[in-house]
Amino acid sequence: MNNSNNKRETFSSGLAVFFATLGSAVGLGNIWKFPYMVGENGGGAFVLIYFICILLVGMPIMISEFYIGRSTRKNAVGAFEALKAKPFWKTIGYMGVLSSLFIMFFYSSVAGWVYSYVFKALKGDFLPLASMSMEDAALNASSQYDAAVSGSISPFVWQFIAVTVVSIILIAGVKNGIEKITKTLLPLLFALVIICCIRALTLEGAKQGLSFLFLPDFSKLSASAVLSALGLAFFKLSLGMGTMTTYGSYFTNDNNLFATSARVALSDTLVSLLAGIAIFPVVFTFGMEPGMGPGLLFKTIPLVFSKIPLGNVLLVAFFILTSIAATTAMLSLVEVPVAFFIEEKQMSRNKAVLLSSGLILIIGLLTVHPKSVFGNVVIAGKGFFDLFDYLSSNIMLPIGGLLITIFVGYVANKDQLSYELSNHKTLNNDGMIKFYISILKYITPALLVIVFLNSIGIINF
């Protein structure tokens, strides 16, 4: 296997590895998806199950992807050839490349909405909400959301801006682009979300909101909620889509893969919980329904912040941090096809970034919003937005993750695996390696099979 490549960039330090990898995991799933799924599935009990799923599914697969990437110093496809695996296993890499593109086809649309909300907040579009009744303000916030996501031109413009920002960063490279941006933006994201949390904790509904988020009520927990928690844990950590394999290929040789996975998983969960702390107290303060679904972020946050002192300032901060989360996550997603085109098709980084971004923009135009230009086109009962979401989240990611667990757990050379995970025998972690392999071989794949069969409707709970 190829453990060194002098022409290939790597991250400069363990801190850079942590921020870049955390930037991949932290995204709209933390600030947008996690809170509304907690709201839909009963609060604290769902959070507890989610954390267990992180330990049993998320971390084992993340460590496996780190191993595949760092031990080969290759992209998601080339890594399996470098490991001298049979051609079939390269399917995992190709699925990772396709999954990252499929996710970007619709994720870039949502990122565009977030970017547009930063601009709207800076312009003061939500200031009039403060003087309206709650009912009129809610209608106004809802109409602004509809205009932002289903307008004739603006959604395309903001999607283009979001992809362009990511492209400029990626063209700068691994150290000067991904590393510098994530090391700068991730601490800022934490600072902004903490500011929002502090303000939310001063509201009347803070106690009720925190109780909902942290106190488990297992009477509200269903079997489907458990499966949702497992699926969310898998998706939020950017697993099965080639990102952690690609980023792992940029890791330094002395990076402790177990420690990095633990730090990333815990920090990612912390960001999600902080987002919940920022949202649920204000939801309960104003008597809103925590289980209102995906519209929670875009329809209620402007309304809520407009009704409290310094609300517009906090609103600007909130959507800036959301745009930061979207940007760092997109960097890792787009880097997967970029690395593939550079190493497998011998393209320059500039051409690889432009080709990847071009594909995302051209096909992503179909997904800007189900109600927009291509909203009437339906395939298998789904619009393009929902189709790409379903194919990537419900089919490709679970299969990719399952194949990774089978490959590393049953096919990969265990001596090489132990050698890499022990940092070439410089770490005394044989017990940890044995425990990880046991979880990976038996528990993780079993849970993934259940999630996959449920997602395609073969089993129902």
pLDDT digits (tens, 9 = 90+) for 76-93: 899 988 888 888 998 899
pLDDT at 295: 67
How many alpha carbons lie under 13 Å from residue 33 in its C-beta half-sphere? 20
pLDDT at 303: 74
Question: What are the φ/ψ torsions at residue 287 (nearest 5 degrees)?
Answer: 65, 30
Residue pLDDT, tens place only, 147-192: 777 766 788 889 999 999 999 989 987 777 777 777 777 787 778 7
CB burial string 388-414: b at 16+ within 10 A, e below? bbbbbbbbbbbbbbbbbbbbbbeebee
Count the neighbouring beta carbons within 10 Å of the beta carbon of residue 440.
24
Alpha carbon of residue 27 to chain centroid: 4
- Angle ∠(320,324,329) on CA atoms, nearest 5: 150
Contact 69, 247 (CB under 8 A): yes
Q: 139 or 116: whose pLDDT is higher?
A: 116
Q: With left for phi above 0 and alpha for psi between -120 and 50, is residue 134 left, alpha or beta?
A: alpha
Contact 62, 264 (CB under 8 A): yes
Confidence category of residue 454, pLDDT binned at 50, 70, 90: confident
Q: With left for phi above 0 and alpha for psi between -120 and 50, is residue 379 left, alpha or beta?
A: beta
**What average pLDDT is seen over the chain?**
84
- In order of their start, the domains of the chain are 14-455 (1.20.1740)
Residue pLDDT, tens place only, 397-441: 888 889 999 999 999 999 999 999 999 999 999 999 999 999 999
Q: Is the pLDDT of residue 288 over 80?
A: no
pLDDT at 398: 81
Contact 312, 126 (CB under 8 A): yes
Extract the tokens encoding 205: 């509904």
Residue 236 to residue 439: CA distance in whole angstroms: 20
Contact 99, 245 (CB under 8 A): no
Contact 310, 200 (CB under 8 A): no
Averaging pLDDT over each range in 320-324, 354-358, 390-394, which range is the top one? 354-358
Residue 101 to residue 357: CA distance in whole angstroms: 9
Only one residue has tokens 């309960």, namely 284
pTM: predicted TM-score of the whole model, two decimal places: 0.83
Concatenating the DSSP letter of every residue in 312-332 gives HHHHHHHHHHHHHHHHHHHHH
Contact 239, 65 (CB under 8 A): yes
Contact 405, 445 (CB under 8 A): yes
Confidence category of residue 11, pLDDT binned at 50, 70, 90: confident
Contact 76, 340 (CB under 8 A): yes
